[in-house]
Amino acid sequence: MKLSQFDFELPEESYAVYPAEHRDESRLMVLNRKDQTIEHKMFKDIIDYFEEGDVMMLNNTKVFPARMFGNKEKTGARIEVFLLRELNAENRLWDVLVDPARKIRIGNKLFFGDDESLVAEVIDNTTSRGRTLRFLYDGSYEAFREKLLELGQTPLPKSINREVEAIDDERYQTIYAKHEGAVAAPTAGLHFSKHLLKRLEIKGIDFAEMTLHVGLGTFSAVEVEDLSKHKVDSEQIVIPAAAVAKINQAKIDKRRICAVGTTVMRTVESSVSSKQELNAFEGWTNKFVFPPHDFSIANSMITNFHPPKSTLMMMAAAFAGYDFLMDAYKVAIKEGYKFSTYGDAMLII
């Protein structure tokens, strides 16, 4: 398929700036692929579409406050530093993005905090905006990590066109987040409240947890018309044996297996055996899913409404069917559904 097939007019007011007041009270559009029908519900109604023995696959990654602001030595220029990944704990080396990048060269030093207790030196250029930083901090590694948490901000995506607020510390994180390492939240999971999870558990729905540490590559623009030529950044994944056992048994029992989000779908599609079973795995994936694609594990999916030409939208189209998804998006815009990170949800069955 071509990139231009995923372009559409999305009004500015369709982007969600804030989350719904209550997590499980965002709107839910239900797409039934077999009947080609669309229903309009609340997210908490999702319980009506699952039965005892069904499995929901969750991404338990935890977002860390990856956005920091420092001042360049001598000039004092304010520089945004976005922490991508730790390269070497002992030497405190980090892969980062800087903005504005034109001002930051190898050898420059950046000072963080009012007391400038944290300093970073630029030791390499990796991409046009990418740099490798060596952090200099007078303290233990644990104290250094605490300092990063103290100085960092919740890394809201640029599509949420406002400053970070106190609400974001809690709401830009799933309630089942456990393993720190993501620079963006797995947004489909943001709709689950503790109360809704408990109701699902009481009904007998099983949960299989896995981890994909979401990187910024998820939001990288696709710049090639031929989608088969697009390459995505690798992201770290862990699929535990316990999750695999639940999922494969549910497959044998012909239960509903739901991928909560595109990150979960990408994770499981990265580790499928020749017998179309899920394998335990720990490593990296650069799986890019776009139409047409035969899905091996999940037979239902929860996802948000995604911006035009995004890889997230392409995966949803691969699962729902391209024409069906495009029709659903037209309905969503007309009916005032909210798009992107803090937006409304879609259940595809």
Domains of the chain plus CATH, in order, are 3-63+168-348 (3.40.1780.10), 67-153 (2.40.10.240)
pLDDT, one tens digit per residue, over 38-64 is 999 999 999 999 999 999 999 999 999
pLDDT, one tens digit per residue, over 79-110 is 999 998 899 999 999 999 999 988 899 999 99
Q: Which residue has the higher pLDDT, 111 or 221?
A: 111
pLDDT, one tens digit per residue, over 171-205 is 999 999 999 989 899 999 999 999 999 999 999 99
- The answer on pLDDT for 115 being more than 90 is no
> Is residue 112 a contact partner of residue 120, using CB atoms and an 8 Å limit?
yes
Of 176, 187, 230, 170, the residue nearest 26 (C-alpha): 187
